[in-house]
Amino acid sequence: MISVKGTILLFLLLVVPLCLTILGTEPYPAIILPYGGGSYRQQDQKISVSYKVVYAANRQGQWQEIDPVSFMKPIPVQYFPFLAATNFGFDSLVPSHRAKRVHRFLGLKKKDRQKDKRELTDWLRKRLASHQMQDSTIRIVTYTETIATDTRKLLSKAITDERLIQLH
């Protein structure tokens, strides 16, 4: 049996990390499972979905899609969307306003990693070369597909964002 004090301590141990997570600063370790509470809205029986595809130029100069699993190996594939979202780490994820406030309050600061940028560039160039691609550029394209929710047919597919990462 756990005493009242023990129960209160347990409650705090569980709830404080959850509150920090809600504020946008998930600590680790914490007893938390994936939350993902966002939703999609259908309008006029249509829904829009965005996703990123990474391309590199092959030896003939044509853009070719990169398989994220083999390209990022040994980084597990579940991290790929986050790396693509930050242009393979060249940009940092922008924390939410709530997270920024928590960081300021706790006096926390992200480390400056600029000095290691050269190493990352070389690492990505080697990856491209090993995939028989030109090692100078990576292209990250965001596609937005509109799908009919009743027939599930693809109604349109458009490029909504495009970024070129020059590796030099």
Residue among 5 and 59 whose Cβ is closer to another protein: 5
Residue window 114-133: x/- pattern of binding to another protein, with contact defined by CB under 8 A = --xx-xx--x----------
> Distance between CA 2 and CA 27 in Å, rounded?
26
Site string for another protein, 70-109 (x = CB under 8 A): x--xxxxxxxxxxx-xx--x--xx---------x----x-
Rule CB under 8 A: say whether 31 interacts with another protein. Answer: yes
Cβ closest to another protein, residue 15 vs residue 164: 15
Residue 128 CB, shortest distance to another protein, in Å, is 14
Helix, strand, or coil (residue 119): helix
| String of DSSP letters for 102-154 | HHHHHT--PPP-GGGHHHHHHHHHHHHHHTTEEEEEEEEEEEEEEEETTT--E
Choose the binding region for another protein from 24-32, 54-62, 129-137, 160-168 (rule: CB under 8 A).
24-32
* Interatomic CA distance for residues 14 and 25, integer angstroms: 15
